[in-house]
Amino acid sequence: MLGHVPLLIIPFILYNLGLAGMFGGGADPWAQPMISVPMMSGGVFAMTLGDLMIVIGLVLLFFEIMKSTRTSNASVLDHLLSTFVFVAFLVEFLLVRGAAHSVFFILTVITLVDLVAGFSVSIRSAGRDVSFH
């Protein structure tokens, strides 16, 4: 059953933990610098907590798309759960003040891409399974 849980629920939970103050206080917890690395060019690469959340979301999107290539009867359940995750992101973005942030918006777009890609892959593979004589 855990194989059917959408992985993109993880950034949703992490973002809400950040809103609850679990990652430190302040007006914008997503602007906190996580790492800063001086580069050979003389520039400095800096990654904030918000940047890290987006990277986590993109990595999980890859695994979600890989999961959507499975052909089984349970793929309908996977699509349904992915739809619920997207709706949760969208509702929170529209109704929660702390979710009106570019990081949360990008995570919402990532869940939309997951939803559309999952349906597209399933429809495409189902078309190949049908044969007419």
pLDDT tens digits along 65-81: 888 877 777 778 888 99
The pLDDT value recorded for residue 128 is 59
Mean local confidence (pLDDT), 80-87: 94
Q: What is the pLDDT of residue 66?
A: 87
Tokens for 70, please give them: 């499975």
Contact by Cβ (8 Å): 73, 125: no
User: Is the distance from CB of 67 to CB of 78 less than 8 angstroms?
Assistant: yes
CB 103 within 8 A of CB 48: no
